[in-house]
Chain A
Amino acid sequence: MATIEFNQVGKSYGSVEAISDFNLSIEDGEFCVFVGPSGCGKSTALKMLAGLEETTKGNILIGGKDVTDLGPGKRDIAMVFQNYALYPHYSVRKNMGFGLKMRGYPASEINARVEEAAKILELTPYLDRRPKALSGGQRQRVALGRAIVREPAAFLMDEPLSNLDAKLRVHTRSEIVKLQRRLGVTSVYVTHDQVEALTMADKIVVMKLGVIQQVGSADELFENPRNLFVAGFIGSPGMNFFRGTIQNAEGRVFTTFGGAEVPLSDTLASRAGGDAIFGIRPEHIVMGKGKVETGLSLVESLGTEKILHFQIPAGQTIDNSEIENDEEDDDRDAQSMRARIIDDHKYQNGETVKMDFPRSKIHVFDIETHEAIK
Chain B
Amino acid sequence: MAKRKNLKPWGVGATVIAICGVVLFPIYWMILTSLSKSTELRSYPPRFLPHDPQWGTFSELLAAHPFDVWFMNSLKIAIAVLVLSLTISVLAAYALSRFRLKGGQSMGLFILTAKMLPGTLIIIPFFVIFRQMGLIGSLWSVVIAQATMIIPFATWMLKGYFDTIPVELEQAAIVDGCSPIGTIFRIVLPVSAPGLAATSLYCFVLSWSDFLFARTFVVTSESLWTLNLGISSLKGEWITDWNIVMAASLMASLPIIAVFLFLERYMVGGLAAGSEK
**A-B complex is real:** yes
Residues of A that sit less than 8 Å from B by CB = 50-52, 71-73, 77-79, 81-89, 98-99, 102-103, 130-134, 136, 139, 146, 150, 163
Please tell me if the beta carbons of A163 and B272 are within 8 angstroms of each other in the complex. Answer: no
Please tell me if the beta carbons of B178 and A73 are within 8 angstroms of each other in the complex. Answer: yes
Contact residues in B for A84 (Cβ distance below 8 Å): 275-277
**Given A81-B168, A83-B166, A87-B169, does the pair A50, B175 have CB atoms closer than 8 Å?**
yes
**Given A88-B274, A134-B274, does the pair A83, B178 have CB atoms closer than 8 Å?**
no
Which residue from A79, A88, A99, A134 sits with its C-beta under 8 Å from B272? A88
Considering the chains assembled together, what is the distance between the CA atoms of A51 and B175 in angstroms? 8
**Given A81-B171, A87-B187, A89-B191, does the pair A98, B274 have CB atoms closer than 8 Å?**
no
Considering the chains assembled together, what is the distance between the CA atoms of A139 and B274 in angstroms? 8
A36 to chain B, nearest CB (A): 21
Contact residues in A for B168 (Cβ distance below 8 Å): 81-83, 85
The answer, yes or no, to whether B219 is at the interface (CB within 8 Å) is: no
Please tell me if the beta carbons of A77 and B190 are within 8 angstroms of each other in the complex. Answer: no
A2 to chain B, nearest CB (A): 16
Residues of B that sit less than 8 Å from A by CB = 166, 168-169, 171-179, 182, 187, 190-191, 193, 271-277
Question: Which chain B residue lies CB-closest to A80?
Answer: B172
* Residue from B166, B178, B191, B277 having most chain A Cβ neighbours under 10 A: B277
Contact residues in A for B190 (Cβ distance below 8 Å): 89
Please tell me if the beta carbons of B174 and A85 are within 8 angstroms of each other in the complex. Answer: no
Which residue from A51, A83, A130 sits with its C-beta under 8 Å from B277? A83
10 A-B pairs besides A52-B175, A150-B176 with CB distance below 8 A are A50-B175, A72-B171, A81-B171, A83-B166, A83-B276, A84-B277, A85-B166, A85-B169, A99-B177, A102-B177
Contact residues in B for A78 (Cβ distance below 8 Å): 175-176
Please tell me if the beta carbons of B276 and A72 are within 8 angstroms of each other in the complex. Answer: no
Please tell me if the beta carbons of A72 and B174 are within 8 angstroms of each other in the complex. Answer: yes
Please tell me if the beta carbons of B275 and A87 are within 8 angstroms of each other in the complex. Answer: yes
A-B contact pairs, 5 of them (CB 8 A): A83-B166, A86-B172, A87-B191, A99-B176, A134-B274
B37 to chain A, nearest CB (A): 53
B101 to chain A, nearest CB (A): 15
Contact residues in B for A98 (Cβ distance below 8 Å): 173, 176, 178
Contact residues in A for B172 (Cβ distance below 8 Å): 79, 81, 85-87, 146
* Residue from B177, B178, B182 having most chain A Cβ neighbours under 10 A: B177
Considering the chains assembled together, what is the distance between the CA atoms of A136 and B166 in angstroms? 17
* Residue from B172, B175, B179, B272 having most chain A Cβ neighbours under 10 A: B175
B197 to chain A, nearest CB (A): 14
Question: Which chain B residue lies CB-closest to A97?
Answer: B176
Please tell me if the beta carbons of B176 and A102 are within 8 angstroms of each other in the complex. Answer: yes
Contact residues in B for A73 (Cβ distance below 8 Å): 174-179
B8 to chain A, nearest CB (A): 32
Please tell me if the beta carbons of B175 and A130 are within 8 angstroms of each other in the complex. Answer: no
- The 10 A-B residue pairs with the shortest CB-CB distance in the complex, in nearest-first order: A132-B274, A131-B274, A102-B177, A163-B277, A99-B176, A73-B177, A85-B168, A85-B172, A83-B276, A88-B275
A78 to chain B, nearest CB (A): 7
Contact residues in B for A83 (Cβ distance below 8 Å): 166, 168, 275-277
Question: Which chain B residue lies CB-closest to A164?
Answer: B277
* Residue from A73, A81, A88, A132 having most chain B Cβ neighbours under 10 A: A88
